Structure formats: C-alpha cells, structure tokens
Amino acid sequence: MLILVSNDDGFFTDGIKALANALRKIGEVWTVAPDREQSAAGHSLTLHRPIRVKTIDKTRHIYAVDGTPTDCVNMAVNRLMPRKPDIVVSGINRGANLGDDVTYSGTVAAALEAALLGVQAIAVSAIPNDSDEYAYEAAADFATFLAEKVGKHRLDPGTILNVNVPSEVPMGERRSEVCKMGKRVYDDVLEERIDPRGRPYYWVGGASVKSQLDPNTDCEAAANKRISVTPIQLDMTNYSYLPKMSLWELPRY
C-alpha cells in the first residue's frame, strides 16, 4: 500500500510519528503535515499567499507544509507523491474528535479532503486518560489494523471513518464500537480578559467540553473507555427534510 499520513498538530508531534511507524508495517508511508499546529483549522484552504514545502527527511518521505491540513493532503496527492495514495490516515490527534468536534477538526478535514480527491481515508484521535497522558502506540496499532480492513472492504465514495481511541485501551485491542456521532456541549467557550491598557480581549476555547451520553454514539463509547469508529460523509444533504420543504410552497422553475 502507498499510504499518506497527515494531521493538524504538526509533522513533529509524537502522534504522527507513532502512526507513521506503525503503518510502515503494511506499506510505504509518506508524511506530509503542517509545519506548525493547525488545530481547529477545519476544512480550510490557503488562497491568499503562496504555500511552501520543506523536505524534512527525503529518505523517509517526510515533508512540512506552511499551510492547513487540507493544503497538506492536496499538495501530497497532486504534487509530491509518485501516484495517488491507496489510503490517507490523518492523526493521531492529541485529544478527542467526538460528535460536533468534527466540524472544527483539522484532523478530520484532512481525511475529508482525501475523500474529495477520491482516496480512502481514516481520521484517528487519541483521548487522554485521567492523568492527561496519551497512548499513541495503541491508537496507531488500531489505525493500522483498520487501514488493512479499509483496503480489503473499501469505503463508499465520499465516506471516511472517524476513530477515537481512549488512552486506557491496551495495546493490541481490536474491539470497537461502530456508532453514530454524538452531541458535544460547549460552555463558556469565550473567555474575556483585560489587557494592560484596560481593553477587553478574548480567548476561544477557554472552558472544558462536555458530552451528551446518548446511546450508540461516539461520546458514549468514549465515556466507557471504548474505541469508536464512525462513518461520516461529505454529502451533508438532509434527505429526510427534503419532502418537508415542499410544504413551504416555494416558487419553482
């Protein structure tokens, strides 16, 4: 397999290194990732300035891009790699990407960009334990196992897998819950402070994020210290709502 690894935390992080090392057991790995942290970059492209690529290790195919995770996947697939990869594995993110998190996540966005380009893709995140420690090796091992499954069974076009691995999960664990997205609760996400001149300024994301523990959701799986696998898709059409729109009696062509 020809495998592209990317993330939103940067090419230098422990998570992406553990992921690349594990995936080398099943194929040739190229790492193309941001040159700095791009957390919560979402599915954004750099349009108003040039994008530069730095070769970190030519032998091991490691490249740093001064752009977003989406830029990285685009650059890798269309310019850097010898051919289109068989799979893109994005991660391992430092922290959960559960429920509504996926709309902000640069890790998930890298996988979505791969799907847009017609490439199978997985996004992988590690959830810290109660001591705020991360077990990247266990998450990388499960990601490698799942990548082989994707290679065998194939995903539907426009579909990716969003994976969250609690750090309490032991190395070699293969059990997981295939489930839907849950609901995250963002309280007091804007923290106001005052600068030395008495002017207010704000930090985004100051408070902790909670989850609704609805059945058969990734949030419930995380609360139970279980691996979750959630298929998500590019097509965001609300098909169940289309018939209801007919009641609006909008003028039609």
pLDDT of residue 188: 62
Number of domains in the chain: 1
190 part of a folded domain:
no
CA distance 24 to 2: 10
CA–CA distance, 6 with 17 (Å, rounded to integer): 10
What is the value of pTM for the model shown? 0.92
Q: Which amino acid is at 149?
A: K
According to the model, what pLDDT value does residue 39 have? 86
What pLDDT is stored for residue 236 in this prediction? 94
Residue 96 belongs to domain spanning: 2-181+214-248
Residue 133: give its domain's CATH number. 3.40.1210.10
Q: Which residues pair with 3 in a beta bridge?
A: 29, 87
Q: Give the pLDDT confidence of 50-86 residue by residue, as tens digits.
A: 999 999 999 999 999 999 999 999 999 999 999 999 9
Region 195-204: mean pLDDT is 91
The answer to the question of residue 81 being in a domain is yes
The predicted structure's pLDDT at residue 186 = 76
- pLDDT value of position 207: 59
**In angstroms, what is the C-alpha Rg of the chain?**
19
Q: Is residue 188 part of a domain?
A: no
191 found inside a domain: no
